[in-house]
Structure 1
């Protein structure tokens, strides 16, 4: 699918207008995100990302908690695409997520004028001066930025559950050295589109910089168990389900899920990074 192809909203999907003042003038950097039942961490995520971006477009995938309310009440959220029916089938889930990302990017282009896109998940915190880095990149030859992501882990004595009134950035002490470079930032050009997976296609000149703390494995013991069950039920067993089945009951870590030492956030972690 090209960047100019059109995604059609389906029955049960609609666009909710939030902050009209964010429309009608050009933005430098906007954020896009897909969410479902993220009420626990969403307000902190929007506050944190909102410090760097001018506006946010969100896709809410049939949340049953306060996610939609939190999105609608945040001053940086311009539009929300809502979906009333969640698709649980494994193959249909994969197709739906690709489609949702396509709708997100299309809606952003239809509703806002902007130069750069930041695609984020609520359980991620990019550290450092994200906006300043993109401003410097804007005058360079690069059209995208891969951000270096590391998983945070719960360890003995650092396993208290996350609370909604806390900041998620630096919430955990230890991180695994496994580094995933994810295309999170790109210049808004017509050839950029979502074809499969989280990253768009059509971004040709890409830098690798910035760091990201990922908390998908470390919000709480209860959340860890729910994550294991989610991957077992809704992802192919051979590629995801089996390893997450084996992780059940093992929320507290002494090493990473890949049998490597854990490190505190900083230069020692980055020096021992293992690209995945």
Structure 2
């Protein structure tokens, strides 16, 4: 399989479609997961094993990884299709604009080859808690999409050991910031729901959206070295006024006594949720 052409979006010359487990294709599924990633080999084994407990199949867009990400995707039995991009877009505006096309391409491919009831759009460093299959079976018929409450995990003085790939990421850190971002992660397979270029991770076309479930986000807490790499990444590759300046100021501050927004940290659970501070979500 070398071309997609299954809907609005087309595979480009720099992209190749790789079939993973072809036994997953052309059969009905309750829940399919889609994701974009780049150089996620450290956490990807646990990410895929975590997803395997919840979803029927996975489609992934690899954005020109230089590590073993594609090999790990190909080897996992729940990965059905991979779009492997060979050239990373270095222009900031073009790269942000392309996110909607990447996810739209994955959605087209899933609709064509992996018929499903629900789509789960996730990032590799996120862990939604609870029994996802059971939860979705109980969602009201009129609800066509679901936002999930996401909280950032932090490294602290007593909890700063680096993450290693032989450990589960769920509950890896003890403390979380109370800043709550409601991220649209699940939607029904309705033809009216889809992506336009520039949409990021949030599609358009939903008519009834509810907010429920909780998500641990580990983008700030894998290790001190990863924190510094993240700071450098945003400084070098994102608009300085909106991203770079903020992350430049965070360099050397991986270990936290409070959140990046000056709020007290909480252990995962009802105390955290009761103290949640609503935050805006970038589109």
Q: Is the 8 A contact 1:148 1:182 kept in 2?
A: yes
Structure 1 residue runs of 4 or more that deviate by more than 3 Å after TM superposition: none
How many residues are treated as equivalent by the alignment? 272
1:192-271 counterparts in 2 under 5 A? Answer: 192-195=193-196, 196-271=199-274
The 5 A counterparts of 1:135-174 are 135-137=137-139, 139-174=140-175
Gaps of 5+ in 2: 1-5
Distance 2:186 2:267 in 1: 26
Q: Per-residue deviation at 1:142?
A: 0.6
Separation in structure 1 between the aligned mates of residue 247 and residue 168 of structure 2, nearest angstrom: 27
> Which one is further off, 60-69 or 195-204?
195-204
Counterpart position of 2:123: 121
Partner in structure 1 of residue 3 of structure 2: none
Provide the residue aligned with 1:9 in structure 2. 11
Equivalent pair of 1:194/1:200 in contact (CA under 8 Å): yes
2:176, 2:207 → 1: CA distance?
Answer: 30
- The Cα of 1:50 is off from its aligned counterpart by 1.2
Residue 108 (structure 1) shift: 1.1
Alignment match, 2:68: 66
C-alpha deviation, 1:140, in angstroms: 2.8
Report the equivalent of 2:23. 21
Number of the residue aligned with 1:188? 189
Correspondent of 2:87 among 80, 85, 88: 85
Question: What is the CA–CA distance in structure 1 between the aligned matches of 2:116 and 2:132, rounded to whole Å?
Answer: 16
- TM-score (norm: length of structure 1): 0.96
Distance 2:247 2:207 in 1: 34
Q: What is the TM-score when the length of structure 2 is the normalising length?
A: 0.94
Q: 1:38 maps to which residue?
A: 40
Partner Cα distance (2:25, 2:10) in 1: 22
Q: Which residue of 1 aligns with 2:180?
A: 179
Of the candidates 103, 108, 111, which is equivalent to residue 101 of structure 1?
A: 103
Q: Which one of the candidate residues 136, 142, 145 is aligned to 1:134?
A: 136
> SS of 2:67's equivalent?
coil
Aligned partners of 2:193 and 2:235: how far apart in 1? 32
CA RMSD of aligned residues (A): 1.1
| Structure 2 SS opposite 1:40 | coil
- Give unpaired runs (5+ residues) of structure 1: none
The 2-side partners of 1:108 and 1:231 are apart by 31
Cα contact 2:97–2:200 (8 A) shared by 1:
no
CA distance in 1, matches of 2:108, 2:90: 24
Checking the alignment, whether the CA contact within 8 Å between 1:147 and 1:211 is kept in structure 2 is yes
Q: Distance in 2 between matches of 1:226 and 1:97?
A: 21
Q: Secondary structure at the match of 2:138?
A: helix
